[in-house]
Amino acid sequence: MKNLSIYILLFVTSLFTISCEEVVDVNLNNSEPKLVIEAVIKWQKGTTGENQTIKLSLTNDFYTNDVLPANDAVVTITNSANVVFNFVQVPNTEDYACDNFQPVIGETYHLEVLYEGELYTATDVLYATPDIINVEQETVTGFGGDDQIQVKYFYQDNGAEENYYLLQVKNPNKQIPEFGVISDEFFQGNVMFGFYGSTETEPGITLDLSVQGVSKGYYNYMNKLITIAGSGSGNPFATPPATVRGNISNTTNNPNYPLGYFALGEVSTVEYLVQ
């Protein structure tokens, strides 16, 4: 997972008259770097799922967007049959890769990360995901008179159990993917859909639409992150009301918990050409 960062955009106003500039330095206390573990195993439908990547990085200075890799960690995932899958660091990167992972629906997996003498662990199940069965598009007119293209993509919920889903849309006109979460609490056994509308969606571009079955814990975790990301108040120094903790524990030094989450699930994806 890319480090959560706060970006400050400085607007410079050009004046026709001569003005003076003063640089103001804000002294901020830097805390000790925290380990960030992005261990989200995604089994793309139609593939073997054997190639997987876990990202390990360290939180960085407030004013930088540089990613600090967490080097020389020992990373493994073990299934219920005690088969161990080793994730080896790609040199000079935050990526730890495995090329022989064995994804099984309903299987329980245990993550271990040994970094600088401390052991981080988590356990989760690999969740099934329904196929995306249909995509619909319509154009609506907003309050300002501007047209907006809206897309819905549909999938069949499993009525025999509680289900939680992570939805993702990649729009080539945007730098980062957009996420949403939904549960089947009010849609048990029905056809559900992901909804996407953006002024930056235009005919001729291809949207990457996906749905992933996830645990209730990961659903709650992502719901908090999405809420924080969408609650900008215009204050560049705004901070989250509390640290969003995942399901990974430091068994060696409990107060030094990591950021990030360990989750596994199938992923159903379609590429949709906007009309």
Give dist(CA 51, CA 211) in Å, integer: 19
% residues pLDDT > 70 (the chain): 83
The answer for residues whose C-beta is within 8 angstroms of residue 269's C-beta and 6 or more apart is 44, 45, 132, 208, 209, 210
Predicted confidence at residue 64, as pLDDT, reads 65
pLDDT tens digits along 81-116: 999 999 999 999 999 999 999 999 999 999 999 999
Burial of 184 (0-12, 13-18, 19+ CB in 10 A): middle
Per-residue model confidence (pLDDT) at position 252: 98
Q: List strand residue ranges (DSSP E) for the chain, in order.
A: 35-44, 52-58, 68-69, 74-79, 84-89, 95-98, 108-115, 118-127, 132-141, 147-156, 164-170, 178-183, 191-198, 206-214, 249-250, 259-273
Tokens 């120094």 locate to 237
Distance in angstroms (rounded) separating the CA atoms of residues 36 and 56: 6
Q: What letters, b where the CB count within 10 A reaches 16 and e where it falls short, cover 43-78?
A: bbeeeebeebbbbbbbbbeeeeeeebbbeebebbbe
Would strands 35-44 and 259-273 be described as parallel, antiparallel, or unpaired? Answer: parallel
Give the model's pLDDT for residue 179.
95
Task: Say whether pTM exceeds 0.75.
Answer: yes
Q: Residue 2: what pLDDT?
A: 39
Q: Which two tokens stand for residue 136?
A: 């619909």
Q: Are 22 and 72 in contact (CB under 8 A)?
A: no
State the residue for tokens 């925290």: 34
pLDDT in tens, 45-85: 999 999 999 999 998 775 667 889 999 999 999 999 999 99
Centre a 10 Å sphere on the Cβ of residue 181 and count the other Cβ atoms it contains: 20
What does the mean pLDDT of the chain come to?
Answer: 87
pLDDT tens per residue, the chain (275 residues)? 334 333 323 233 333 333 445 555 555 556 688 999 999 999 999 999 999 999 999 987 756 678 899 999 999 999 999 999 999 999 999 999 999 999 999 999 999 999 999 999 999 999 999 999 999 999 988 777 778 899 999 999 999 999 999 999 999 999 999 999 999 999 999 999 999 998 899 999 999 999 999 999 999 999 999 988 875 444 444 445 567 899 999 999 999 999 999 999 999 999 999 99
Q: 195 - beta bridge partners?
A: 152
Q: Give the β-pairing of 147-156 and 35-44.
A: unpaired
The pLDDT value recorded for residue 11 is 31
Report DSSP state, residue 117: T
Report d(CA 180, CA 157) in Å as an integer.
16
